[in-house]
Amino acid sequence: MTERHVDPADKLAQLVEQRGLGHVKLGVTDIDGVMRGKYLASGDLLAGLAGGLGVCSCLVGWDCDDTLYTNNPEGVTGWHTGFPDMPVTPVPATVRDLPREFDGKGLLVLGEFGGEAAAVCPRTLLRNVLEEAARMGFEVIAGFEYEFALFAETSETAHAKAFRDLEPLSRGNFGYSILRSANFAALCERLMSECAAMDVPLVGVHTENGPGIWEAAIGATGALEAADRAAVFKTFSKDFMRSQGVLATFMAKFAPEHQGLGGHIHISLRATDGAAVFHDGGKSSRPVLDHFVAGQLALLPEFTALVAPTVNSYARLVPGTWAPTAATWGEDNRTCALRLVGHSASSRRVEFRVAGADANPYLALAAAVAAGLDGIRKALPAPPGCTGNAYENPGKAARLPASLAEAARLFRASAAARQWFGNCFVEHYALSREWEEARFRAAVTDWELRRYFEII
């Protein structure tokens, strides 16, 4: 899209007029990382740039299955409020093409929840953390990489099979396979082209270990835009695959025999003059990187709920699955929670490996950055890094929560979370995770039926 980052509002209006668009799509990401929104008359969207557009406050009051929370009697929204409209403010700088809509002229604009709901808006939360980083003298650069699974199914066939025994797009374990990328070259090319058109540049696409599992690395950029790219990729890659007769999932672990799907985040800091502060000549990256890593390690257990947000997330965070189980770090060590990568000023960064593909990109990045900044503020010393297998030799590293219930308890009790994210967000988010865990406890799974139905 040549008119990238159309701002201020009058330039967005010119773009809408040039394309003759009667409607523009507005998208806003909810607490679960689901992009919600609708088509809006172009005039209404432009009029809403100043004061926001009225949208039902249920968008911050229900779960990913559109079921209203009933465990928040005094929350930011709920039956006690009558679910009035709340403002959603479009952000003109986020405008991007929708290449398969309105004859290739379609536009998407991302927005943020306003009013009282601003306190629980994921994008606003990340923006607030990044503004604090700027006050501390840092610009945050980030890039997301996602593992996702592809199936030769439709939504209808998957539902008919109860999401069991789905046909993977390809069979066999073909990690980094040139053969498989050649087999599906046309699909890859169309995906990369569509993502580029939506200003979500993919710098790498390859097959991962497991039938039908792929990975895409999104180009790094300023942190807020990086999270926007991630949110757009997760939503519209699924839509793109649907248009190709393929079903995609970003579920953390969709089958017990597979290792899980990660949503890793690469993070670096720059000073106000653009200098890379994670690198000091050819020497070890001290002291800013040390403090940043130390802060992330110290707060990982308390912030895990933000990066592992579903019951299913914890099926991935088990030993031997390429996902961490403790707050560990190491130089280029993929068994650790934090993998330090690169040896030059431009490449030195932290790979935050805790987050799954199911994580809300805004909240996951906010958690990773806030924890690191907290370590810089407090000048925390980093513990010794792990060498070899961090599952077997984690040293004195703190264990990560083993369930969503445990993670929610730690998050609610976290003084650092309240300092960085505010009491309103902490209470709302903890309640939402407790709700999610309670829904799971009330369910009867296939495993329980097979194990207990006849023998007990």
Both tokens of residue 12? 């967005």
pLDDT in tens, 177-199: 999 999 999 999 999 999 999 99
Give the chain's mean pLDDT: 93
Q: Are strands 23-29 and 106-113 parallel, antiparallel or unpaired?
A: parallel
Residue 343's pLDDT is 83
- HSE at residue 197, side-chain half, CA atoms within 13 A, is 19
Residue 6's pLDDT is 44
Residue 1's pLDDT is 45
CB 285 within 8 A of CB 279: yes
Residues 6+ apart with CB under 8 A from 111: 26, 27, 28, 37, 53, 88, 89, 90, 91
Whether the upstream peptide bond of residue 287 has omega within 30° of 0, thus cis, is yes
Residues 6+ apart with CB under 8 A from 387: 330, 331, 333, 393
Give how far the C-alpha of residue 52 lies from the chain's centroid of Cα atoms, to the nearest Å. 25
Residue 78's pLDDT is 83
Residues 309 and 321: their CA atoms lie apart, in Å, by 18
Residue 15's pLDDT is 87
Pick from 211, 202, 199: nearest CA to 165: 211
Is 330 a residue whose pLDDT tops 60? yes
pLDDT in tens, 281-292: 655 446 899 999
Is 200 a residue whose pLDDT tops 80? yes
Q: How confident is the model at residue 249 (pLDDT cuts 50, 70, 90)?
A: very high
Residues 6+ apart with CB under 8 A from 86: 54, 55, 56, 57, 59, 60, 77, 113, 114, 115, 116, 117
- pLDDT over 70 percentage in the chain: 97
Residue 350's pLDDT is 97
CB 298 within 8 A of CB 378: no
Residues 238 and 149: their CA atoms lie apart, in Å, by 10
CB 270 within 8 A of CB 138: yes
Residues 357-381 have a mean pLDDT of 98
Helix (H, G, I), strand (E, B) or coil at 4: coil
Residue 75's pLDDT is 80
DSSP of 414-453 = -HHHHHHH-HHHHHHHHHHHHHHHHHHHT---HHHHHHHT
Write down all domains in the chain, each with its CATH number in brackets: 9-117 (3.10.20.70), 128-449 (3.30.590.10)
Residues 298-302 have a mean pLDDT of 98
Instruction: With 0.75 as the threshold, say if the pTM is over it.
Output: yes
Inter-residue long-range contacts of 269-278, CB under 8 Å, 24+ positions, other chains counted: 269/133, 269/138, 269/139, 269/140, 269/141, 270/138, 270/139, 270/141, 271/137, 271/138, 271/139, 272/137, 272/138, 272/139, 274/139, 275/345, 276/345, 276/346, 276/348, 277/138, 278/348, 278/349, 278/350
Q: How confident is the model at residue 430 (pLDDT cuts 50, 70, 90)?
A: very high
Instruction: Quickly tell me which residue has 């939506």 as its tokens.
Output: 198
- Residue 368 exposed, middle or buried by CB count within 10 Å (0-12, 13-18, 19+): buried
The 10 Å CB-count burial string (b at 16+, else e) for 397-430 is: beebbeebbbbbbbbbebebbbebbeebbbbbbb
Pick from 379, 376, 359, 357: nearest CA to 367: 359
Residues 388-405 have a mean pLDDT of 93
Residues 55-62 have a mean pLDDT of 94
Most confident of 40-54, 300-314, 341-355: 300-314
CB 9 within 8 A of CB 49: yes
> Residue 257: how many CB atoms within 10 A of its CB?
8
Residue 80's pLDDT is 87
Residues 6+ apart with CB under 8 A from 207: 170, 174, 175, 176, 177, 180, 181, 213, 214, 215
Residues 394 and 336: their CA atoms lie apart, in Å, by 9
DSSP state of 354: -
- Residue 293 exposed, middle or buried by CB count within 10 Å (0-12, 13-18, 19+): buried
Report in angstroms the alpha-carbon separations of 357 from 57, 131, 213, 263, 415: 27, 26, 12, 4, 27
Instruction: Quickly tell me which residue has 């672990």 as its tokens.
Output: 253
Residues 358-373 have a mean pLDDT of 98
Residue 79: φ, ψ to 5°: -60, -30
Give alpha helix (H) positions in 165-243. Answer: 178-183, 185-197, 223-243
401 against 1, higher pLDDT: 401
Report in angstroms the alpha-carbon separations of 33 from 251, 308, 362: 12, 12, 8
Residue 2's pLDDT is 42
